[in-house]
Amino acid sequence: MTKVYCIGEGLYTPLGSTVDTVLEAVREGKSARLFDRSGYSGASFFEHIALEASRNALKGIEITPGTGFVLSTTKGNVEHIGKEDISLAASAARIAGALGIKTKPIVVSNACISGIAALLQGVRMIRSGEYDKVIVTGAEVHSDFIHSGFDCLKALSPEPCRPFDKDREGLNLGEAAAAIVLSSCHSEPSSCHSEPSSCHSERSEESFEISDGVIRNDANHISGPSRTGEGSYKCLRYVMENVRKEDIAFISVHGTATPYNDEMESVALYRAGLSDVPINALKGNFGHTLGAAGILEAIVSMAALEKGIVLPTKGFHEMGVTYPVNVSALERPASGKLIIKLLSGFGGVNGAMVFRKGGAQ
């Protein structure tokens, strides 16, 4: 099967706009969930941050007629509801147009797993052979609409969130944009114009491969996670078919810090036989960035593995889930060559994706 590589990564977050800056901020235990919007006067902050992250990911990469575009978001321009056309399709078309994309944009809006679902869509588009590159951009901005919804669900923590901690009280909402450019070639631009096998470049050493990905439904409840972690467990079981446990450097869990989510993930990891594998959660740094979360957390995790580290889980102090899990409270060295990213969301959806370090088999 065609191998699919991450050939460009771009961020636009309240913690910084380059992968290095953001990685260092997370290592230092910093947290920033909302943008300072002073100085911005455009029509759509959502589209603005999506574009910024996309452009950062596309540095040095050429848009070809066969470049696809997938947008991951839950609510897009919802802050402007009642005032203008807030359809996600219209946003995607404007972003794609501004980037110079010629193919038809696709929006994946699959609740909190949108990021993994959109990356999986991008991977499949490359494997179909109909696209030579796909840019997958996830973005979410904070709004009264989203705040009100999570507030009435009683899912918001009054304090900074504490993933997997015994005193966790809920999640914090965040906003961010993140983008990954996918290709069957390791690299850009000139070295790669024909068969994937002829792609050779310096970057091939470091490009991560997305070697697998999956979505499964709990078929249980539209807003409550399964008590048996059914969908998340099935996702892990699926990706573990092609992963040796000792190769996993760490699992970047969803870790929203709601009592139910973290408990559910501990059940799923236990059932999958992964209780002793290092896990971490980044929601303490960024908050829950919804449609951006999967892509943002994947990029930061890949950068961490490149540096040979497992990032700390900000907010975690004392184990607060029933089943054993190996939470990284502090930064520690990583051994292994791949990362699994996990997400779960409303509608009973769960996702898992495998990011394999360049050159690793």
Binding site for another protein (CB under 8 A): 74-75, 78, 81-82, 86-90, 92-93, 104-111, 117, 121, 124-125, 127-128, 130, 144-145, 148-150, 152-154, 214-223, 230-231, 234, 238, 241, 345-349
Handedness of CA 289, 305, 349, 266 (dihedral sign): negative
Report the residue number, 22 or 141, with the smaller CB distance to another protein.
Answer: 141
Query: Minimal distance in Å, beta carbon 356 to another protein?
Result: 17
Report the residue number, 59 or 221, with the smaller CB distance to another protein.
Answer: 221
Distances (CA, A) of 280 to 6, 343, 361: 22, 12, 24
Query: Minimal distance in Å, beta carbon 111 to another protein?
Result: 5
75 membership: H or E segment, kind and range: none
Query: Minimal distance in Å, beta carbon 127 to another protein?
Result: 6
Report the residue number, 259 or 347, with the smaller CB distance to another protein.
Answer: 347
Bridge partner residues of 8 (DSSP)? 181
Query: Minimal distance in Å, beta carbon 349 to another protein?
Result: 6
Report the residue number, 135 or 214, with the smaller CB distance to another protein.
Answer: 214
Handedness of CA 85, 86, 90, 96 (dihedral sign): positive
10 membership: H or E segment, kind and range: strand 5-12
Report the residue number, 147 or 200, with the smaller CB distance to another protein.
Answer: 147
Buried b (16+ CB within 10 A) or exposed e, 307-317: eebbbbbbbbe
Buried b (16+ CB within 10 A) or exposed e, 153-187: eebbbeeebbbbbeebbbbbbbbbbbbbbbbbbbb
Query: Minimal distance in Å, beta carbon 149 to another protein?
Result: 4
